[in-house]
Structure 1
Amino acid sequence: MKRKKHTSAEDEAQVDMTPMLDIVFIMLIFFIVTTSFVKERGLEVNRPKDNQNTNQPSKSLSIQIDQNGIIKMGGREVDIRRVVANTQTFLAENPTDSAAIQAHEDTEHGTVVEVMNQVKEAGIEKVSVLVKS
């Protein structure tokens, strides 16, 4: 038997890809068929209605303290011991949750803190301090 020393490129071994492609397509079909396309369910959220009336802005309580410690509420001079009563009267007429204390820069700190405490005691939680120079 004679052997050829040089073989041509056509005689080399080749891998047939057809069976591998068949298996890949069969697996693809299997996964498509077995996958369930179910819509995921979530929780239904019942949000409360917004019951705040946006047409009426709330009127804020305004308190002025001058450099001598004189307290004015609504343009009237008020004694420091009557701030709670005057604040409650204001709240009865104008429901609000905020107050602004406008203090002169030379006002004693203790006076401003006392007014803040009395306003909070009357029922207003949001108190801001403005310094007037």
Structure 2
Amino acid sequence: MARRRKKPHNYLADQEGFDLTPMIDIVFLLLIYFMVTTALIKEEADMGIKLPANVPPDPDAKLPQEQVVEILASGEVLLNGAQMDHYESRNMPELTKTLQRLKAANDRGGLKTSVTIIADQDSLHKRSIDVLNACGSAKIKFVMFASQ
């Protein structure tokens, strides 16, 4: 008996053609997805900031008079190296009066008064608040903190 050899079955030959409809649907869905997501990305807005140019400083510019207040770990307060008020004094009348005199002198000269507070890392925060209150009583608006 002769054996018949089976031909491999070609499934594509049975069909009239390859159905591309699901692939086209997926391509359109991906196209819509990418179109929608790219519309959500906002462009950076121009903030209109003008950067400083290389301009020489104004010769008549008046620089602020800086006063340095140091707060030591023991609670002592030094104004430009001179000790002010007792370390237990909370209202600091001597510092307030001295800052008022310095501000009045600078105001007469047309200068701005600024205070730089340098507090020791071991000092109590309440001493910094006491110095800020003294600056507020002296009506000094330019106060900054510096580190050692």
TM-score tier, shorter chain, comes to 0.5 to 0.7
**Which stretches of structure 1, 4 residues or longer, exceed 6 Å deviation after superposition?**
none
1:69 aligned counterpart, secondary structure? coil
Deviation at 1:113, TM superposition (A): 0.7
1:18-49 CA-to-partner distances (Å, cap 9, x unmatched) read xxxxxxxxxxxxxxxxxxxxxxxxxxxxxxxx
Q: TM-score, normalised on structure 2?
A: 0.49
Matched, 1:110 2:116: no
Asked if 1 retains the 8 angstrom alpha-carbon contact of 2:106 and 2:113, the reply is no
Q: For 1:15-54, list aligned pairs within 5 A.
A: 54=60
Select 1:84's aligned residue among 83, 96, 101: 96
Instruction: Give 5+ residue unaligned stretches, structure 2.
Output: 1-57, 86-91
Instruction: Give 5+ residue unaligned stretches, structure 1.
Output: 1-51
Select 1:67's aligned residue among 64, 69, 73: 73
1:56-83 CA-to-partner distances (Å, cap 9, x unmatched) read 3221121111111111112210003321
Asked if 1 retains the 8 angstrom alpha-carbon contact of 2:99 and 2:138, the reply is yes
Q: Please, what is the CA RMSD of the aligned residues?
A: 2.0
Residue 135 of structure 2 aligns with which residue? 119
Deviation at 1:93, TM superposition (A): 2.3
One-letter amino acid of the structure 2 residue matched with residue 111 of structure 1:
R
Matched, 1:98 2:114: yes
Cα distance in 1, alignment partners of residues 115 and 146 from structure 2: 11
Deviation at 1:127, TM superposition (A): 1.2
Q: TM-score, normalised on structure 1?
A: 0.54
After superposition, the Cα gap between the structure-2 partners of 1:58 and 1:116, relative to the gap in structure 1 and judged at 3 Å, is same
Cα distance in 2, alignment partners of residues 107 and 81 from structure 1: 20
Cα distance in 1, alignment partners of residues 65 and 141 from structure 2: 15
Residue 33 of structure 2 aligns with which residue? none
Deviation at 1:53, TM superposition (A): 7.1
Residue 128 of structure 1 aligns with which residue? 144
